[in-house]
């Protein structure tokens, strides 16, 4: 038994008593809390072209011991529907399992723990086979392209040193399931996500990747090495992938697609569902994002790293200088420099410290004290100009950024 399985589990494993088949290569994990669209997600995975290796899909029905009986009943109803669906849709090459975790501690219950239970179970499965398999995260209201599983397997074969990857995603922008206002809001929110990611990339920040819970995958050994999934009730994907990126060789899988739901939700304090709620109910702040100037200021810091390897004097915008004071920059810079064996090593240590979380804190600091949020479509257009991408303001800006992300490897 691995060190991780001996020391870092938060639930009783194994949950699945069936011995995994020898050729298992991918385990997809789906947290399910009070959901009504799970069957659609299961069907999407079941309709995928199957890869060479075998696939397992583990759905974790979860809620806390203190949750309303209606939620527990909803989970039970959905589980029964899933079992009925499985009887008619089982096929070779892909197996579906369901874990009932409906009495979790109030302190820890949430999407982070639900993902962790499923991902830890995947580790148990792979360790039984002594394999470093692929653990993919999905959501109970997401669907995927038909080549999702094939491309997932192929990606890690082509990138054997990659510990994890983010996967290309697109929210639906039209249909009958949601209102026109909802689709307009998700267009703005997805544009906000893509502008943020590409603005970081423009700055030269090495960890400029999307961190979407339904659109990520990790190798089992890397998952264990970095301590597994956290138990955060929100933002679990951001903090988890930050640990994976620190290993180096993090990659993007852009030859397939996940289609997350654009639904409104107030379950957690941030994320897609909450952003949708804010966009739809808070008109005066609708469709805004961080000002581009925050990233232009940050870019100057990144561009001075070669200089900072030997020097401490800072010639930077006031927004950056004031923020650096709040994180003991000079003291930490000295430690990083003392522990560095080369400029390359210095930059690696620097960005392990000045990570995605500190960058996000800077952007919030700059927003609060220097550069208020601006209209997301205006900022997107400004960034395209900085990237020397010719377009007009009337162009479909989201389509432009989707194209940029899809073509980035």
Q: Which of these, 392, 384, 386, 3, lies nearest to 194 by C-alpha position? A: 384
Strand partners of residue 101: 62
Domain ranges, ordered by start, for the chain:
3-179+208-269, 289-406
Strand partners of residue 258: 144, 169
Above pLDDT 70, what percent of the chain? 93
Token pair listed for 270: 């941030």
pTM for the full predicted model: 0.93
Phi and psi, residue 334, nearest 5°: -65, -45
Which architecture characterizes domain 3-179+208-269 according to CATH? Alpha-Beta Complex (3.90)
Q: Which residues have CB under 8 Å from 329's CB, separation 6+? A: none
**pLDDT digits 0-9 by tens, 232-257:** 999 999 999 999 999 999 999 999 99
Residue 221 scores a pLDDT above 60: yes
Strand partners of residue 177: none
What's the full length of the chain, in residues?
Answer: 409
**pLDDT digits 0-9 by tens, 339-383:** 999 999 999 999 999 999 999 999 999 999 999 999 999 999 999
3-class secondary-structure state, position 102:
strand
Cα–Cα distances (Å) from 105 to 29, 67, 102, 240, 359, in that order, read 21, 10, 10, 21, 33
Cβ-count burial 135-164 (b if 16+ within 10 Å, e if not): bbbbbbbbbbbeebbbbbbbbbeebeebbb
Token pair listed for 60: 């974790």
d(CA 229, CA 244) in angstroms, rounded, equals: 10
């Amino acid at each position: 038994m691995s060190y991780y399985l001996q020391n870092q589990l938060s639930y009783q494993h194994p949950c699945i008593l069936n011995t995994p088949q020898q050729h298992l290569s991918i385990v997809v994990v789906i947290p399910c809390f009070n959901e009504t669209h799970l069957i659609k997600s299961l069907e999407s995975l079941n309709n995928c072209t199957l890869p060479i290796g075998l696939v397992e899909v583990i759905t974790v029905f979860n809620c806390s011991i203190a949750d309303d009986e209606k939620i527990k009943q909803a989970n039970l109803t959905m589980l029964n529907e899933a079992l009925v669906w499985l009887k008619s849709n089982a096929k070779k090459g892909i197996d579906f399992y369901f874990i009932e975790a409906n009495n979790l501690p109030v302190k820890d219950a949430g999407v982070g723990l639900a993902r962790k239970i499923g991902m830890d179970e995947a580790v148990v499965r792979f360790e039984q086979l002594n394999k470093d398999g692929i653990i993919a995260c999905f959501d109970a209201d997401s669907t995927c392209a038909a080549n999702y599983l094939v491309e997932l397997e192929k990606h890690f074969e082509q990138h054997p040193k990659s510990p994890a990857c983010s996967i290309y995603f697109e929210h639906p922008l039209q249909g009958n399931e949601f209102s026109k206002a909802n689709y307009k809001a998700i267009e703005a929110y997805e544009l906000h996500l893509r502008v943020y990611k590409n603005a970081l990339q423009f700055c030269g920040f090495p960890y400029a990747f999307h961190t979407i819970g339904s659109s990520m995958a990790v190798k089992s050994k890397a998952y264990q090495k970095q301590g597994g999934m956290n138990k955060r009730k929100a933002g679990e994907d951001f903090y988890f992938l930050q640990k994976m990126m620190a290993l180096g060789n993090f990659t993007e899988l852009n030859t397939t697609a996940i289609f997350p739901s654009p639904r409104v939700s107030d379950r957690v304090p941030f994320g897609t569902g909450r952003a949708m709620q804010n966009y739809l109910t808070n008109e005066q702040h609708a469709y805004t994002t961080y000002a581009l100037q925050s990233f232009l200021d940050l870019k100057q810091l990144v561009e001075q790293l070669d200089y900072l390897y030997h020097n401490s004097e800072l010639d930077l915008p006031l927004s950056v200088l004031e923020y650096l004071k709040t994180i003991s920059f000079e003291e930490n810079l000295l430690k990083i420099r003392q522990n560095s064996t080369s400029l390359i090593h210095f930059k690696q240590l620097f960005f392990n410290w000045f990570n995605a979380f500190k960058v996000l804190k800077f952007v919030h600091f700059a927003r609060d004290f220097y550069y208020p949020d601006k209209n997301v479509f205006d900022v997107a257009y400004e960034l395209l100009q900085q990237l020397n991408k010719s377009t007009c303001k009337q162009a479909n800006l989201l389509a432009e950024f989707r194209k940029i992300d899809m073509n980035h490897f």
